[in-house]
A and B are shown apart, each in its own frame.
Chain A
């Protein structure tokens, strides 16, 4: 059974810092990996989708990497801003139309 773990559970950084969020998964037989952002009381916003054949994806200040063989993904946020404060969720897509979520990293960027 696929298990997804995110470390750290919470992170607080001053504005302007670069930071890395980690995600690990137990079964490397994945279709893709997706990073989401969830603001308090809100839905999930998709940030980046990495297919199993890819090693990274970039969007603006965000860069996500995927190492399928070691079961790891990282989300790199450059030059963090207070508006980046949210919970970041890693989710692994597998067959049978399933998406396994991690427990999230709650990020606070301090002005």
Chain B
């Protein structure tokens, strides 16, 4: 009964490929997020999304795009992968806007671009 689940856990791919990471939450939360953890272990938000609004961190390249087929899913699509995209990507969700209810994180997807 995993609360926030991501697949795959590991992803190794070549430069230039397009890939997707899936995320699902069964908590009934109304907002979902994608975070990137770089090689120095620093976590930074990429996107936040609810059924009303997508907020994009201005530093995220437009090769990255979130797709939400429904309230419980927020998938991350990455086009034309680059070496610098290698990182661990975390999906998260929260119960209410403004994060008053706290965040629940998935276990992460380690992306390696070769």
- B66 lies within 8 A of chain A by Cβ: no
For B92, B99, B108, which residue has the most chain A Cβ atoms within 10 angstroms?
A: B99
Q: Considering the complex, give the chain A residue whose CB is closest to the CB of B104.
A: A46
Cross-chain pair count, CB within 8 angstroms: 66
CB closest chain-B residue, reference A41: B110
A49 sits at the interface (CB 8 A): yes
Which residues of the other chain, A, contact B31 by a CB distance below 8 angstroms?
Answer: 97
State whether A97 touches B102 (Cβ < 8 A): no
Q: A44-B105, A89-B43, A101-B42 are in contact. Are A94 and B100 (CB under 8 A)?
A: no
**A95 and B53 alpha carbons, distance in the complex (Å):** 14
Measured as residues with beta carbon below 8 angstroms from the partner, the interface class of chain B is 20 to 34
Q: CB of A28 within 8 A of chain B? A: no
Chain B, residue nearest A97 (CB): B48
Q: In the bound complex, do residue A93 and residue B108 qualify as a contact, i.e. CB atoms below 8 Å apart?
A: no
Q: Are B99 and A94 in contact (CB under 8 A)?
A: yes
Instruction: Contact check, B105 vs A46: say whether CB atoms are below 8 A apart.
Output: yes
44-70 of chain B: CB within 8 A of chain A: 44-45, 48, 50, 55
The chain A residue sitting closest to B50, CB to CB, is A97
Choose one: A43, A87, A103, A104; the contact of B105 (CB below 8 Å): A43
* Nearest residue, chain A, Cβ from B57: A98
